[in-house]
Structure 1
Amino acid sequence: LRPSDDPPGAVISLNYKQGIARIDRYLGAINEGYAFLKAQESTLANVEDLVARAKVLAIQAANATQDLNARRATAQEIDQLVQNLLALANSQLGEKYLFGGNKTTGYPPGETPFKIVKETLPDGQIIERVIYQGSLEDYEIGYDLNMKLKLGENGQKVFMDSGIFETLLSLKRTLLADNRIDYQREQYNIQEAINKLDQIFNYIAQKRGDVGSKMAHFETKKNLYEDFKQTLESNLGERESADLAKLASQLQSLQIAYEAALRAVAMFSDMNLAKYL
């Protein structure tokens, strides 16, 4: 059948096909988004472990029996945790940075969303700090015209606002200073770091929970749209089957008419004009 043979039916079939195509695009975006969120969730789980280890080290450092060498060893491990944390913050899925916000790619060679820089204070002291070079907009992916899915939060919200880098670097400086002159001040700074690490752990756990909630939401959406797609495909299949049945009926009618015409021609050919004389 041609569309012109059944205009309303053709429009319905076209609508089904367009609906299925749109759902396929949506499901593709959902699958991509789910993989992105899953990578974020796994990364944040590792960050939680790192923060927990940092707290253990801080508690050990608060022990008055630790000597200078022990403090320096602890400071070195804290420094390694900072490096590990930096690597986690700069994690990628494929070529996309997980915590760069909407700027998932496009960084100059050697640059990443998070980096450590050194800063000279007015008193001449050189300190390290981490800066964020990603987007302040959360990452979104499009799946149709003017339609987007919002994924995880940007790195400013997840890492910088938590104070995690600042806390670890400050703890490292405190341990390296080994301030024997003002022992109480040193203990205060270490205890302050322990308290902040508790807050940071809860903060990261909440962010991880938010990501997990989005993953569950995406799974629900995926199931709903897969069911909807199956319904559309079933309806389309029934319509196309009906069209085929209609076409078969028309072909059968044409075949009958054709055979009747052939019989008529044969009968005419057998006629002898002499019979009518």
Structure 2
Amino acid sequence: MLFDTSVRNMNKAVERVLRAQEEVATGRKVQRPSDDPVGAAFILDFRASIANLEQYQRNITWGRTALGGAEAALSGLSGLLARAKELAVGQASGTATAETRDVTAIEVRQILAQVLAVGNTRVNDKYIFSGYATDTAPFTAGSYAAYNGTADSIDVAIDPGVNIATNLVGSQVFQGAGGVYGSTNVLDTLDDLATAMETNDVATIQAIVGTLDNAVDQVSAATADLGARWNRLDEADFRHVQVKTQLRSLLSDREDVDMIRAASELTIGQQTLEAARASTARILKSSLLDFLR
């Protein structure tokens, strides 16, 4: 009976040492679900929640890249339209001549080509104004009323049940489709301006000055839309950082070992095991001597 008790004590001491060794080696309290079923369930939930937040943050990063490309493109477009208006105002005046208008038309054509290039901007080798047709250039020189893309938004999830568009539809920005930002076909307007200068059509040049104002407003509205989306991305990302920090703290409380306590437990366990072994050895020796007598 005494020997059996001693063996049980030694086995318990071995289990205590093995558990302490696992905790020190892994830094975790729960090695397997059976160690703490409730705690293990919390740990799995916390990890899943953190993984979801990190996916949302990856989506936000991708969205920022896409919106950043569109924002840079619109900034360039605004500058080009401002220059086109400046040229239109200058050639609409009484001091301009057929010759100056014909020469200025060359620059307007160059601006048109640059605007077309802006409309065909690519980010990561994908056309950003083509909707879903990201492998297709949305605009073609000489066909300024045509749009080769789609009217779809490319959405990403930034919160549970919350998606945000990461693109602008080129036909809405450059051609005024649907009146979303305005109703001016920027490409047609610049083409018409160049033609009016080439033909010395002063009345049309004067009329286009106002149309260019509308085009500038249209681009400004699209830029404001991008800004609002940026704000939503920033707000969502800030929330995710805060919540993820809290979840990691809760996960640490459930999962991480107090290394000082674990090291102390290992030392005590080893001492207890040695004592149990010594006790068992003494009992075994005594029993053997009694048997031999």
TM-score, L = length of structure 2: 0.78
Q: CA deviation at 1:244?
A: 7.4
* Corresponding residue of 1:233: 248
Aligned positions of 1:167-178 closer than 5 A? 167-178=189-200
Q: Which runs of 5+ in 2 are unaligned?
A: 1-30, 177-183
Equivalent-residue separation in structure 1 for 2:134 and 2:196 (angstroms)? 35
**Alignment check: 8 A CA contact 2:56 2:159 kept:** yes
CA offset digits 1:145-185 (Å, max 9, x no partner): 9874322321111111131111111111111122xxxxxxx
Range moving further from structure 2, 88-97 or 146-155: 146-155
Q: Secondary structure at the match of 1:149?
A: strand
Number of aligned residue pairs: 255
**Alignment check: 8 A CA contact 2:131 2:149 kept:** yes
Q: Percent of counterpart pairs with the same letter?
A: 28
Q: Secondary structure at the match of 1:131?
A: coil
Q: CA deviation at 1:96?
A: 1.8
Equivalent-residue separation in structure 2 for 1:260 and 1:242 (angstroms)? 26
Equivalent-residue separation in structure 2 for 1:142 and 1:233 (angstroms)? 22
* Corresponding residue of 2:45: 15
**Alignment check: 8 A CA contact 2:50 2:247 kept:** yes
Q: Secondary structure at the match of 2:140?
A: strand
Aligned-partner residue type, residue 209 of structure 2: I
* Alpha-carbon distance change, 275 to 130 in structure 1, aligned in 2, over 3 angstroms: closer
Higher relative contact order (CA 8 A, sep 6+): 2
**Alignment check: 8 A CA contact 2:158 2:233 kept:** no
* Corresponding residue of 1:211: 226
Q: CA deviation at 1:264?
A: 2.7
Aligned: 1:190 with 2:208: no
Aligned-partner residue type, residue 128 of structure 2: L
Equivalent-residue separation in structure 1 for 2:254 and 2:71 (angstroms)? 44
**Alignment check: 8 A CA contact 2:159 2:236 kept:** no
* Corresponding residue of 2:174: 159
Q: CA deviation at 1:249?
A: 8.6
**Alignment check: 8 A CA contact 2:70 2:168 kept:** no
Equivalent-residue separation in structure 2 for 1:96 and 1:84 (angstroms)? 18
Aligned: 1:36 with 2:66: yes
Aligned: 1:116 with 2:152: no
Q: Secondary structure at the match of 2:47?
A: helix
4+ residue stretches of structure 1 with deviation over 4 A? Answer: 142-148, 242-257, 274-277
* Alpha-carbon distance change, 276 to 192 in structure 1, aligned in 2, over 3 angstroms: same
From 135, 145, 149, give the equivalent of 2:164: 149
Equivalent-residue separation in structure 1 for 2:91 and 2:202 (angstroms)? 9
* Corresponding residue of 1:183: none
Q: Which has the higher strand share?
A: 1
Equivalent-residue separation in structure 1 for 2:133 and 2:264 (angstroms)? 59
Equivalent-residue separation in structure 1 for 2:74 and 2:82 (angstroms)? 12
From 128, 131, 151, give the equivalent of 1:98: 128
Q: Secondary structure at the match of 2:146?
A: strand
Q: Which runs of 5+ in 1 are unaligned?
A: 118-127, 179-185
CA offset digits 1:80-133 (Å, max 9, x no partner): 00000001111111112121122223x3xxxx111123xxxxxxxxxx635211
Equivalent-residue separation in structure 2 for 1:169 and 1:157 (angstroms)? 18
Equivalent-residue separation in structure 2 for 1:275 and 1:135 (angstroms)? 95
